[in-house]
Structure 1
Amino acid sequence: MRARGRGHGEWRSSQNPARGGGRGGRPWAQRGSYQDKPAVRAPSPPTGTLIETIKHGNLPSAAETGEGQGQPRISACSFLASFNWMGGTHPAIVLPGKPPVWRPLKSPTQLKEDAGEYFRDQNAARSPAFPFEPAIEALLAQESALSTEDIDLLACGSTLGSLFRFVQGVDKPFRFTVEVVGHTVFFVRRENMPDEKIVGVRGYGHSFPETYAPWEADVKGSESHQRLIRYTFAGLRCIVRFEGDGYLEDEVKESSRDDDLRPPADTGHLSVRIAGKKIPQEAIFDLKTRSAWRKDDDILSEELPRLWITQIPHFVLAFHERGTFKDIRVRNVRKEVQAWELQNANALRKFGALVHQIVTMARDSPDGRFEVRCRETGTLEIHAQLSDAPRPISARLCERWAGGGNSSDASDDGDSAAGADASSEEGVRVDHEDDLAAFSDEETEMNYTACSEVCGYCGRCEY
């Protein structure tokens, strides 16, 4: 059992507290890793006409970014909604779902190394036409009083992380689509293929959480826990979606009931079931595994930008010796995240200015949509969006979101605020059955590790 009652900033060790260390490795990483070998990827989808470029050298200076864009810090953060992706061939979620619970073993046991293939982007793989559809269904079901007119930006941690790395001058290609729905600008990450997988995964980034942070009975069969939080940054009112690795039971102060949740109407495509319990953001942790030879690396510092974007307060760092985890640390990192925010104020001002620029361009665009792509260090390309690009949400939800979010589900044959073809929408089917699909659910000796906010929500790849 891990020690209790320590103050912020201290490591709490589940096993062998005499051994210290941190885990380093992959910038913006999640739990997984892949082998040190070239990956064969699908070709990148074509891009539309180049509209504009944004050069890193032309980003505003710190002195130019303060006026009218708020402070370079996150404020008024609150948890809004959550859902779990379920296993199986048919797209299915449970609301509000629940993250895996932290339950470490009493004594170390050698684990099996990971093997298999994993989606780069869980949301796009399961909902390729409308990657944000399940998240918006979950949000509107759990936050009936939400006024969508109060939301400036809706994005995943991956797209925001990519833009921040661009500000920092990191050489990392990425692309995402931008679309205006009502008052809100959606950032939607885009891989070469919606169901693209990471192959050759190895390490213990899957076997460790399966053993030490299992799914509880009411959400058994889950494959991913997705969360939506709300906060203000640089004057923008944001909703951010990300994957939660797990939660700490002793950080849940009170039990919540979700009997008042109402799933969407039955229309046929996505199965929605009520199960689980809302877990407060204060209890959520991010989890990383590393080989024991890296225990002296400062791994937390590499993870702080992502922890800041997702406002995750706890960090679990586990070191293994050939699959046996003898050194596991659980840490409250609120103070470290806040200190990072202060120390990086200049970069965050530029980041805020860049996000503002893209949001403004979208609202000023004739059709309210385009694509952002970074192929080389220091240059963002703004392209016209081609017809094969996924839309954030379906015509039905576009109409509801543009109408304020509080109305009942609109008819499928109405015009969408984003211009989506209503005939392509299959809708949502509600499943009240109790049985859930079976769940089949890293760190390598080399430093190749995954990040839910770099690669997306598969959480098993470096890119």
Structure 2
Amino acid sequence: MDWKSLEGWRFGWPGPDTSYAPRPEHWMRYGCGKLISEIDQTIVEPAEVEVTSEAGYELLCSYNWQDDEEQASIIVPGGPPKWTPPPLPTQVRSDKGGFHYMDQNEYRAPGWTFEPVFQALSYMQPQMRLNNVDVIVNGNSLRRLLDFEVRGNFEKVSTKYQPGLECSSGHHRVIRYQLGDLNCAVRFECDAYLDDGNKTAAEAFFPSDAVVTPHSHPSQASNNSNTSPPIPQTAYQALPSHRTEEEQDDEERIKVIIGGGQVDSSSKLVEIKTSGIRKKVTPGHHVAQLWFGRTSYLCEAKHDYGNFQKISCTDMKDRFKEWENRHQDSLRKLVTLLTELKGVVSTTAYEAAVLVCENHEPIRIYESNEPMEILPQPLKAKFWGATTKNESWEEEDMDF
């Protein structure tokens, strides 16, 4: 959705009172005004346009958050760590009591959680305009809305950031694709990438003594290169000449470090999952997350009280079509839901609203009782200004 209807989206689970917001200090309802709409999942109709991943996607930008306690800092473009699994078996200490991000973007950029996206976009795609983008959203939010209708230390020891990115605390990227008839820009966090080189998929994923479990398919390497269109180096190196004094002032909120990462192909991205060896989890449990992020590979590591003995990897690309066919009705309802939410928010006084999901209750939308900003004004003007050729949806821009 455009930035006006994007402002103020928050997911939460309120108390029993559903007609009026509880006392203002309740963090979930901060800024809530009157209840303006309810959407019952039982009456949401599927959209007419088929939802499919076959249309491809376009990488818009990427960035890595840096471990900088003095100032919020990102490196642009970012890069995921390399998948470097240790020989098995291996013992990994418990991560209980450690610090874990529920939402690193919210923690490091409170209030303006999408600002790092647009700072990165300013350098990587300075001429882009987003006037025709219907929805800008986190992948996790899409999964929650779809459900409206279902890691820890091992990751640290099995991945390694490349030179220039060693101080990273997370890699994020934004891709654009069609969701039915909606043009969506989706942000997600990536765990790792596969450096296959001249190796087969099995050799790249597994050390020589790793155990491949029966449900994994490491040998089914796709013949589709899925290489993301390269983003010219000059795009972000030349940008400072385009930046206004206001934009430079706003940049003080987030320090941007240029040139550390590479624009890796999305076809090599890896999602890492860990679970106890007695827990029965199949790759199918994670398809939705990988589908919304167009992440190709799923790595599952099984442990017995921290002792990892089995690692399995599945090439998930071949499963996307089957999954979207099986969930086509729900995906089309998701499109209907997003369209309706966009319309409701655009009619509010401040063009901002708070969305509340509570278990299987109807979605409740509350009007914001105060203006809500999600981006600095110069960034809004920059990306929703006059249209350019980058605004159109071109098939040749897509990654298949």
**Could you tell me the TM-score, scaled by structure 1's length?**
0.65
Cα pair distance change 1:251/1:352, threshold 3 Å: farther
Instruction: Compute the displacement of 1:236 (Å).
Output: 0.6
Q: How many equivalent pairs are there?
A: 322
Q: Which moved more, 1:246-255 or 1:354-363?
A: 246-255
Equivalent of 1:99, from 80, 105, 113? 80
Q: Report SS of the residue matched to 2:148.
A: helix
Distance 1:132 1:327, change over 3 A: same
Which of these residues, 205, 208, 225, is aligned with residue 171 of structure 2? 225
The partner residue of 1:394 within 364, 376, 387 is 376
> Residue in 1 aligned with 2:94?
113
Output aligned runs, 1:177-188, within 5 Å.
none
- In the aligned structure 1, how far is the partner of 2:197 from the partner of 2:107? 32
Q: State the secondary structure of the residue aligned to 1:381.
A: strand
Q: Name 2:339's counterpart in structure 1.
A: 356
Q: Identical aligned pairs, as a percentage?
A: 24
Change (3 A) 1:145 1:388: closer
- For residues 251 and 347 of structure 1, do their structure 2 counterparts lie closer, same or farther at Cα, with a shift above 3 Å needed? farther
Whether contact under 8 Å (1:55, 1:380) holds in the other structure is yes
Q: Does residue 59 in structure 1 map to residue 39 in structure 2?
A: no
Q: After superposition, give the CA deviation of every residue in 1:8-33 in whole Å (9 maximum; x if it has no partner).
A: xxxxxxxxxxxxxxxxxxxxxxxxxx
Matched, 1:249 2:195: yes
Q: Check the 8 A contact 2:88/2:308 in 1, yes or no.
A: no
- Corresponding position: 1:134 with 2:119: no
> What is the letter of the counterpart of residue 269 of structure 1?
R
1:147 equivalent among 126, 129, 147: 129
Matches within 5 A, 1:152-301: 152-167=134-149, 205-250=151-196, 259-260=233-234, 261-262=236-237, 266-267=248-249, 268-274=252-258, 275-294=260-279, 297-301=280-284
2:393 — aligned with what?
none
User: Which secondary structure state, in structure 1, belongs to the residue aligned with residue 119 of structure 2?
Assistant: helix
Q: Distance in 2 between matches of 1:56 and 1:308?
A: 22
Aligned to 2:52: 73
Indicate which of 307, 314, 327 corresponds to 2:297.
Answer: 314
Does residue 82 in structure 1 map to residue 28 in structure 2? Answer: no
Cα shift at 1:289: 0.6
Local SS of the residue matching 2:77: strand
- 1:324 alignment partner, one of 290, 307, 316: 307
Question: Structure 1 residue 380 and structure 2 residue 363: aligned?
Answer: yes
Structure 1 residue 278: Cα displacement: 1.0
| Distance (Å, rounded) in 2 between the aligned partners of 1:251 and 1:373 | 46
* Greater share of residues in helix: 2
Q: Which runs of 5+ in 1 are unaligned?
A: 1-41, 171-204, 407-463
Please tell me the root mean square deviation across aligned C-alpha atoms, in Å. 2.5
- Write the distance in 1 (CA, Å) between the matches of 2:178 and 2:34: 33
Q: Is the 8 A contact 1:102 1:213 kept in 2?
A: yes
Structure 1 residues 82-125: Cα deviation after superposition (integer angstroms, max 9, x where no partner): 00000122100000111010011234321111131223211011
- Is the counterpart of residue 44 in structure 1 residue 28 in structure 2? yes
Deviation at 1:219, TM superposition (A): 0.2
How many angstroms apart in 1 are the aligned matches of 2:288 and 2:231?
A: 33
Counterpart amino acid of 1:241?
R
In the TM superposition, what is the alpha-carbon distance from 1:329 to its structure 2 partner?
A: 1.2
Contact 1:57 1:378 in 2 (8 A): no
Per the alignment, do residues 110 and 405 of structure 1 end up closer, same or farther by CA in structure 2, a change over 3 Å counting?
farther
Q: Distance in 2 between matches of 1:386 and 1:165?
A: 28
Q: Kindly provide the CA deviation profile for residues 329-380 of structure 1, in whole angstroms up to 9, marking residues without a partner as x.
A: 1221111122100111111111111111112223344532212111342311
- Matched to 1:216, the amino acid is Q
Change (3 A) 1:238 1:404: farther
Quickly say closer, same or farther: Cα 1:100–1:125, change in 2 above 3 A.
same
- Counterparts of 2:87 and 2:358 in 1: how far apart (Å)? 48
Contact 1:227-1:241 at 8 Å conserved across structures = yes
Cα distance in 2 for partners of 1:404, 1:242 equals 28
Structure 2 residue runs of 5 or longer lacking an equivalent are: 1-25, 199-224, 389-400
Partner of 1:316: helix, strand, or coil?
strand
Cα distance between partner residues in 2 of 1:393 and 1:405: 19
Structure 1 residue 323: Cα displacement: 1.7
TM-score (norm 2): 0.75
Contact 2:63–2:78 (Cα < 8 Å) also in 1:
yes
What does residue 207 of structure 2 align with? none
Number of the residue aligned with 1:345: 328
SS at match of 1:57: helix
What SS class does the counterpart of residue 106 from structure 1 fall into? Answer: coil
The 1-side partners of 2:192 and 2:185 are apart by: 20
Contact 1:258 1:278 in 2 (8 A): no
